[in-house]
């Protein structure tokens, strides 16, 4: 049985794509077989973290959703060497970066149910342990569906007043959809912020568990999405936090 993890945030730029790619890597380092769907089809980005460069004939998630290309043909192996050595695997379902493809997608849309069917089909065909869904920020049809089917929803926010307010709305929507398991991830916590008061504020504001509290990091800023922090800086507190989250998810989801 595979588990679906949706990574979402109300506002943009919270760190969803970095978290998705690094969480997938941590799961892979623990020997898991993972696929990442880049459902942010209006502004895809998670491929950059894996240094994925498609050749001219490569198929994208767009090709499945709009042209009916089998989902398996849209899955690309991006497994880093260290993950391969740990017997893990990472497949990426990228969004197309071609402007006319993005425009077509925005113009014509697609059946969102196809996206969810694709996740189950791929998980089944390839015997995946985890499907990670990197989403577009805000509340829209795709995120509503992935929220509803996810075994765990990771809601990412910064310790910022706009994020606190917006995240409350996103959590309310997810709860109305009976989201199975919601965890908050606070990212970009400035070093001088008091961790305990952030924990308390989160606990009293949302009543959902805190999955991880990840620091604002100059190293991540410098890395600038050009690599995977958990491989580049394995002993960094940010990487420690993502690794602990991956271990917690494996423990909690395998109990079900």
For ligand ATP, the closer CB: 38 or 181? 38
Is position 146 an interface residue for Mg ion (rule: CB under 5 A)?
A: no
Is the CB of residue 160 less than 8 Å from the CB of residue 14?
no
CA angle 193–199–204, rounded 5-degree value: 125
Residues whose CB is less than 8 angstroms from the CB of residue 123 and which lie 6 or more positions away in sequence, other chains included: 2, 4, 35, 131
Distances, alpha carbon 205 to alpha carbons 19, 31, 66, 156, 184, in Å? 23, 36, 40, 14, 11
Q: Which two tokens stand for residue 18?
A: 């970095």
For ligand ATP, the closer CB: 224 or 251? 224
Choosing from 15, 45, 94, 159, the residue that interacts with Mg ion (CB under 5 A) is 45
- Listed as own residue / partner, the contacts of 162-171 with beta carbons closer than 8 Å and 24 or more positions apart are 162/11, 163/9, 163/10, 163/11, 163/14, 164/201, 164/205, 166/10, 166/11, 167/9, 167/10, 167/206, 168/205, 168/206, 169/10, 169/139, 170/8, 170/9, 170/10, 170/139, 171/206, 171/208
Among ligand ATP, Mg ion, none, what does residue 94 contact (CB within 5–8 Å per kind)?
A: none
> Least Å distance between CB 52 and ligand ATP?
15
Q: Using CB atoms, what's the residue nearest to Mg ion? A: 17
Is position 214 an interface residue for ligand ATP (rule: CB under 6 A)?
A: yes
Is position 121 an interface residue for ligand ATP (rule: CB under 6 A)?
A: no
> Least Å distance between CB 92 and ligand ATP?
15
Among Mg ion, ligand ATP, none, what does residue 44 contact (CB within 5–8 Å per kind)?
A: none
Site string for Mg ion, 3-42 (x = CB under 5 A): -------------xx-------------------------
For ligand ATP, the closer CB: 126 or 210? 210
Is position 38 an interface residue for ligand ATP (rule: CB under 6 A)?
A: no
Residues lying near ligand ATP in the complex (CB under 6 A): 9, 12-18, 40, 45, 137, 187-188, 214, 216-217, 220-221, 224-225, 238
């Amino acid at each position: 049985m595979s588990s679906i993890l949706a990574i979402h945030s109300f506002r943009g730029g919270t760190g969803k794509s970095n978290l998705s790619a690094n969480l997938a890597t941590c799961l892979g380092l623990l020997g898991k077989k993972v696929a990442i769907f880049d459902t942010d089809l209006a502004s895809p980005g998670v491929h950059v973290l894996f240094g994925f460069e498609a050749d001219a004939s490569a198929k994208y998630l767009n090709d499945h959703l709009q042209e009916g290309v089998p989902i398996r043909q849209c899955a690309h192996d991006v497994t880093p060497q260290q993950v391969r050595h740990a017997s893990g695997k990472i497949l990426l379902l990228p969004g197309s970066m071609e402007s006319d493809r993005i425009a077509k997608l925005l113009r014509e849309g697609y059946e969102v149910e196809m996206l969810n069917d694709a996740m189950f089909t791929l998980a089944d065909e390839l015997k995946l342990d985890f499907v990670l869904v990197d989403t577009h920020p805000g509340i829209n049809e795709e995120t509503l569906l992935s929220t509803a089917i996810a075994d765990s929803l990771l809601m990412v926010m910064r310790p910022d007043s706009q994020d606190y307010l917006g995240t409350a709305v996103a959590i309310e929507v997810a709860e109305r959809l009976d989201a199975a398991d919601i965890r908050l991830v606070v990212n970009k916590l400035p070093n001088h912020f008091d961790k305990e008061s952030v924990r308390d504020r989160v606990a009293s504001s949302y009543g959902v568990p805190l999955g991880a509290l990840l620091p604002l990091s100059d190293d991540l800023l410098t890395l600038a999405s050009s690599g995977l922090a958990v491989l580049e800086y394995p002993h960094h507190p940010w990487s420690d936090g993502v690794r602990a989250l991956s271990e917690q998810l494996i423990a909690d989801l395998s109990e079900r």
